[in-house]
Structure 1
């Protein structure tokens, strides 16, 4: 019998791609880790202090303050964000704000040790990497988070049945540029929320649709995803329970075996609820924020409802990165919105009553949660509630919209596919460039380059900004293109092309 060499070659090629994609994805995220200085993430003065105190008092890292609400933390964890809210100021200002001894301990009340707003899991884990060398520790944490995202998504991709893999790739791909990429490779707990939002519901969906080693693997990944998400942010506990409920609605059957299997996601929902109780962040849903609105009552509600979409798509580039002060070029959000709408519109071609029900529930959550928080807090869209708070929910809703309930593969012609890959890659490249430009030279600098005499950078040991930008652009583009090849079957391309010709 003559061996099928063509099939063997295809399998070998696919294996190479499966090994290459994680390397490329991690490279792209690693570039984002170096693309901004210490303190560049939103509220990083709070999160860095919380990390350094995440494992209790430690000599030289976190020591008792004058009161129970105060801790002594390294100066650099508090004073690095000298450029915040001033996009024209590059990160060179740190030389003055941090001083000659970044590890000097100074008093602070900014941290989870004071209010327990967030669950302790993220800060405890990141605290393992805290040292007196602040810059090196922060870079290590960012790279660790990038590695966690890459490894987790790679394991989930391998464990999922082929039909569900596009949900992971497309669902995350069309929603994480640019804010998601920034957060994943940061020390902000929202990065873990992004990972959990894009993986928990898919892992559970695969759990109900598989048997044997796949089911066991997906159960383990779903458990880890729940802990990662609900252990990072209190609101992610709520989103996790919504995701679990959506999967149950999508898969529910009148069989004893199903309800026995459903005990596992029920346990995950309980776990998410318990983690929610470890934080007071969820209290924002009940008590709101300090009033900032010029409207009141029903007029405020109407005004917010009309402007809520700004929160939904803010993570796609219509809002700034960092401390919301790194404004993205228009071409970034035009590209990301184009790809998002194209993917969702295609996914809506496949539907049944279950999918319509969970999508309606997701949409109601996208409206009710921010509207309620703003109304209770007497705030308008643009104040208090940020787009990153809703990014996990957006990822979930987009993923549900992409779900095919007719058993068919995701379909796209080569032109459609590469148009979306090109648009998203270009948007990513421009976002990365803009983010780097903001910190190296400031956005008021009109030079096209990313470095000149006196500009900020990590040091001579790290490749120069332009090289890093090119590496990040190339890695993301190749990863996206290869993933598109892997999850969109070639036979679907040929079928669509042949249909177009015959028509």
Structure 2
């Protein structure tokens, strides 16, 4: 008994100590793994931000000055923001008011290649101190905020100044979207990334990286809509940060276009019906109401409901109802225009129609929409219905009311700012479960989106570097007719931008991939 007692006393104790040591070792392993994973995630996140900047900068250098719609107007307005008399020399020539701007941004600078697809972007070799009179500048058709901010970047070199402005637009977009992704919950983060991947490439990225006010409109409306919605589902500092992002997006919208200002009201109505409002959310509710009111006020007080300088208000033939129906029937074309169908980049002269890469993006978008409509509440359907009604209804109403003589004069890019928020709400409202796509589904989405981006970017580069020829030049480095005075070639820009976009696409799609389903596929 005396010999057996120690064994009986110490045996269980030793086993318990082993279990304790094992548990402590397991905890240490978990803590160690977490410590290792946090820096890794930070490193990967930083890399993704750099890749997004590379994509934006790649697009920003892919076209010359005055190469996007009404660029001569917007560049002239940047050089001479309101009040015009305080920023530039003014005069009257042939009865028309004019301002003095550098020749490189005047209305004559783009005539050698605009609407002439066989002509590359012309580098005319203008002296930066060569000033001429121009009739193309803003005298009240647009808010002045966008122009005044970019006016601060004007330097001695016109081209460098314009590129810095494009870079600023890219940086603002990437910075604000990154802030949203960091502050959002993982389930929401993945859905936002997928919505942007589907809706912004290639036309959204093209305009964000341009000198056009549509850059701020696209970024601002998205950041406002997603930031405000995410704030209603968050708490503490995360909530405060999201509200700050939403306010920044609203300010960008108010400073860019009057129709983008009105979109603050549209988004506000959508949020009013989509959010589960409660007493604790009174700051978001008040802010949404105030910003919506400011958006409507900016649109009404401006006295301008047209989005294109110089378009008159004389109505087209036919009654209001007839024109309204025609406008609604054209809605599918507007949706296709979000990827370049009917409204191509440049002055509408980049021949995306020749290879039709937008078909790939439309197929991918259809798949994601089918995934998003598998479930939902009445709040989700009403909120999405408000956004969809604005996208379909605004062009039709403007045409029916006679604001535009031709329906296509109201371009798809004017309602593009509402598209990404619409898809985000469709994917996110009242959805708490993670998205579950199979490996085959993510592969198909990736091939479609990347294929559209790569083909569209090459077509834009080809249009301006060598011009459009019957043999469709593939190697843009062979005989470039236009390019920047830098050691990086057009094909290098295309390759690096394409690889960066591919990496971003893989990261987004991996985040929504159902790993369990993928393992089951591999087992089969």
**TM-score, normalised by the number of residues in structure 2:** 0.86
Assess if the C-alpha contact under 8 Å between 2:327 and 2:396 holds in 1: yes
Aligned to 1:84, what secondary structure does the other structure show? coil
Rg bigger for which structure? 2
The reply to whether residue 151 of structure 1 matches residue 181 of structure 2 is no
Assess if the C-alpha contact under 8 Å between 1:55 and 1:127 holds in 2: no
Shift of 1:166: 2.4
Aligned to 1:70, what secondary structure does the other structure show? strand
Matched residue, 1:90: 120
1:417 aligned to which of 431, 437, 442: 442
Per the alignment, do residues 277 and 348 of structure 1 end up closer, same or farther by CA in structure 2, a change over 3 Å counting?
A: same
Q: 1:268-283 residue pairs with structure 2 within 5 A?
A: 268-276=291-299, 279-282=302-305
Shift of 1:276: 3.4
2:109 aligned to which of 74, 77, 80: 80
Aligned to 1:106, what secondary structure does the other structure show? strand
Aligned to 2:162, what secondary structure does the other structure show? helix
Matched residue, 2:340: 317
Assess if the C-alpha contact under 8 Å between 1:197 and 1:229 holds in 2: yes
Per the alignment, do residues 35 and 227 of structure 1 end up closer, same or farther by CA in structure 2, a change over 3 Å counting?
A: same
Question: Larger deviation: 263-272 or 438-447?
Answer: 263-272
The whole-number CA distance in structure 1 between the counterparts of 2:447 and 2:338 is: 19
1:107 aligned to which of 125, 128, 133: 133
Assess if the C-alpha contact under 8 Å between 1:25 and 1:150 holds in 2: yes
The whole-number CA distance in structure 2 between the counterparts of 1:412 and 1:58 is: 58
Cα root mean square deviation, aligned: 2.7
2:216 aligned to which of 192, 195, 199: 192
Assess if the C-alpha contact under 8 Å between 2:103 and 2:126 holds in 1: no
Question: Larger deviation: 267-276 or 293-302?
Answer: 293-302
The reply to whether residue 399 of structure 1 matches residue 424 of structure 2 is yes
Matched residue, 1:48: 75
Assess if the C-alpha contact under 8 Å between 1:208 and 1:251 holds in 2: yes
The whole-number CA distance in structure 1 between the counterparts of 2:181 and 2:300 is: 32
Q: 1:227-306 residue pairs with structure 2 within 5 A?
A: 227-253=251-277, 255-276=278-299, 279-282=302-305, 289=312, 298-306=321-329
Matched residue, 1:431: 456
2:160 aligned to which of 105, 126, 136: 136
Shift of 1:58: 8.9
Assess if the C-alpha contact under 8 Å between 1:119 and 1:276 holds in 2: no
Assess if the C-alpha contact under 8 Å between 1:172 and 1:198 holds in 2: no
Assess if the C-alpha contact under 8 Å between 1:75 and 1:102 holds in 2: yes
Per the alignment, do residues 333 and 292 of structure 1 end up closer, same or farther by CA in structure 2, a change over 3 Å counting?
A: farther
Deviations 1:150-204 (A, max 9, x none): 1111111111122221232112211111111110111100011111232211111
The reply to whether residue 176 of structure 1 matches residue 205 of structure 2 is no
The whole-number CA distance in structure 1 between the counterparts of 2:34 and 2:517 is: 20
Shift of 1:246: 1.5
The reply to whether residue 117 of structure 1 matches residue 117 of structure 2 is no
1:71 aligned to which of 96, 99, 102: 99
Matched residue, 1:333: 358
The whole-number CA distance in structure 1 between the counterparts of 2:416 and 2:384 is: 16
Shift of 1:135: 0.8
Per the alignment, do residues 257 and 303 of structure 1 end up closer, same or farther by CA in structure 2, a change over 3 Å counting?
A: closer
The whole-number CA distance in structure 2 between the counterparts of 1:72 and 1:91 is: 23
The whole-number CA distance in structure 2 between the counterparts of 1:269 and 1:208 is: 17
The reply to whether residue 210 of structure 1 matches residue 234 of structure 2 is yes
Per the alignment, do residues 406 and 157 of structure 1 end up closer, same or farther by CA in structure 2, a change over 3 Å counting?
A: closer
Unaligned runs of 5+ in 2: 1-23
Per the alignment, do residues 438 and 393 of structure 1 end up closer, same or farther by CA in structure 2, a change over 3 Å counting?
A: same
The whole-number CA distance in structure 1 between the counterparts of 2:300 and 2:317 is: 33
Shift of 1:383: 2.8
Question: Larger deviation: 102-111 or 200-209?
Answer: 102-111
Aligned to 2:199, what secondary structure does the other structure show? coil
